[in-house]
Chain A
């Protein structure tokens, strides 16, 4: 007799599912266990497998969205007709689902190695050729192919997004940029020995450039602003080089992930007190004194051990929990932002961590940081406290599932018993990717950090 294929109820809260696609043709000869169709729900995608042998007769088409229990089709014997008068969408009792279909495979591409442990960029031969033709800097291109491989479409899209890109990126100081703007010179066209454009470089270039040509280099573009008020572009900042990278990565991050931010106030009294004690000893020893931020970074790294879901990466609809904790630190540099990585940050003592953060920040600013030191971060901390920001929404670095923002240290007060006491607090802003991390686990991670910061001796030991 005809075996019904019903839409399985995959969870208590599941209200509907969509036939993403039938994997077998109508009339296909099916053996038990063969995947029949891919079912999409609001949570996961699964393959629905045949319960028994038979000839597939579909009742609904691709894209049909139905309630659990709805009949999707039948497995028929040779020559058997479909049951007469059966309405495809007739819901069945919720209990009947389990024996209808066996759920095995959570959909995901499992046959392609993801990692680029040696920093190798995975790119198709065609994409490499197209990138060379179009002059696209591959470090600015995000791969959308299997395993994150960059394919030619990615390069073409990147080229379309930055059509004016012509040569290697150059970093110019803000003042040099202003000088260049006034002189009508594109800073990226200035030749320098260091790759960093100084005001002197701009001056030299201006002297060597005939005025008319230089002036012509600045074209004023007329755009029509909303409300049809005529607007003229005063100057153009090309989104390339570091700016281009930041733009691409931030856009990628925000389009790709489901990001949201928890604000969480932590008391820093214990840290402030301990740091004051340590300060004298450290100065006497000639060791850098850990900053408040170092304490937070240390706490964030240690807490990740207890909350591995935040030290993860999403690859092809799989969450890969990572075994090592490599902490990215956002460092503001002229013209942009860098995120150097401190490998195995959770294994560094506080003084070592402090030394490491100083070292990478310094080298970011003087341009001696290596490309490999900017890759491989599994989580990041960014601080705007010194700029007076309390709470903000950091943007997750692509490939991570979380980033912790550190706000301003400020005075506050709280009731301790009947006493109103003065406290020092700061606000942590944890942005997490809801695809991987839910709100409660994210909050628990923040609580762990708060507990560590409340007993900072743990961080020092």
Chain B
């Protein structure tokens, strides 16, 4: 089969269609996922193809949505539970971090929970403080959960398939602002395994570890820097739990510098963990302190001008790299 250009959301949608066709144990529930196809059209056409038994609109009841997924998964089904906006996971958090994440361990391995939670994160749409967050560090902090943040159409498809096939509770965080971004996507069904970073661009002068929507921004910055002869390696971890530390460390050993970029707030963000791992594993290879570029410690603001100032972009990434490389 061939590869063609698809948008991020279409690629995800194709992954959903193909995995539901492959595995009759996969079902989808969530608010407006069936009749409406999801507020971002992530689930278009699934109701028509797979019927009301497998594609169900729920009451607005996030705890019950996730809890139902946990119970069904414990019985061997492969639920996909949609939470629409990442901000809403707070409402369902007990089921995510106390139940789904812990059942395997606290029951001594007796239960597996092959649950997939889909949601949309990220700022940039003037959706304000409760519809724009990037909370991946919260989730990555919980043993038992796996967290994916696709940054390309290819990954959007491959990671949702990988998540659903995974026997653990997974959360796939789509990027609202990337839904229309196009990229090459193979037609056939394929899965991207969790814990394998993607070297999005090879380089020698510094490593940028970029999360989610910061990956294309980092690539843009790398292009700008290349014209000045600065060679940047861009690494997209793709999943922050598990985190592919090996690939990151190997890159930093080569470039001797690292910048971590995410749009979640800097304090306690996943960048702090990545930074710490780099200094633990590659201390003797560093020529500069590991740098971070992330959102300020504030909720996501509404006004476009504030939001633009809040989320890092290619220009600021470029500046951060220049600071990192500065020599007298």
Contacts and interface: CB of A to CB of B under 8 A. Distances in A.
Direct contact of A and B (CB under 8 A): yes
Interface in A16-60: 23-25, 28-29, 31, 53
A143 B288 CA distance: 12
Contacts of A153: 287, 327
Most B-side CB within 10 Å, residue of A24, A151, A316:
A151
A145 B287 contact: yes
Interface string B275-314: 0000000011111100000000000000011001100011
Interface residues of A, number: 24
B22 interface: no
Interface stretch (A119-127, A329-337, A354-362): A119-127
A148 interface: yes
A109 interface: yes
Contacts of B319: 23
B142 interface: no
A145 B32 CA distance: 55
A151 B285 contact: no
A144 interface: yes
A152 B256 contact: yes
Contacts of B250: none
Nearest to A24: B315
Contacts of B308: 28-29
A146 interface: yes
Given A23-B319, A29-B308, A109 B287 contact: no
B284 A125 contact: yes
A236 B292 CA distance: 49
Interface residues on B, range: 10 to 19
A23 B326 CA distance: 16
A148 to B, nearest CB: 7
B288 A129 contact: no
A145 B304 contact: no
A128 B304 contact: no
B328 A124 contact: no
A129 B285 contact: yes
Nearest to B255: A126
Most B-side CB within 10 Å, residue of A23, A28, A126, A127:
A126
Interface string B49-75: 000000000000000000000000000
Contact of B314 (A23, A25, A149, A151): A25
Contacts of A143: 328
B298 to A, nearest CB: 16
A53 B305 CA distance: 10
Contacts of B256: 124, 126, 151-152
Interface in B118-173: none
A128 B284 contact: yes
A145 B288 CA distance: 8
Interface in B235-289: 256, 283-288
Interface in A113-145: 124-129, 143-145
Given A23-B319, A29-B304, A124 B286 contact: yes
Nearest to A317: B328
Contacts of A24: 315
B284 A31 contact: no
A22 to B, nearest CB: 9
B301 to A, nearest CB: 13
Nearest to A124: B287
Contacts of A316: 328
16 contacts: A23-B319, A29-B304, A53-B305, A109-B326, A126-B287, A129-B285, A144-B327, A144-B328, A145-B287, A145-B288, A145-B326, A146-B288, A146-B326, A148-B328, A151-B327, A316-B328
Given A31-B305, A126-B286, 17 more contacts: A23-B315, A23-B319, A28-B308, A124-B286, A124-B287, A125-B286, A125-B287, A126-B285, A129-B284, A143-B328, A145-B326, A145-B328, A146-B288, A151-B288, A152-B287, A153-B327, A316-B328
Please list the 6 inter-chain residue pairs (A to B) with the smallest Cβ-Cβ separation, ordered nearest first.
Answer: A144-B327, A151-B287, A124-B287, A129-B284, A126-B287, A144-B328
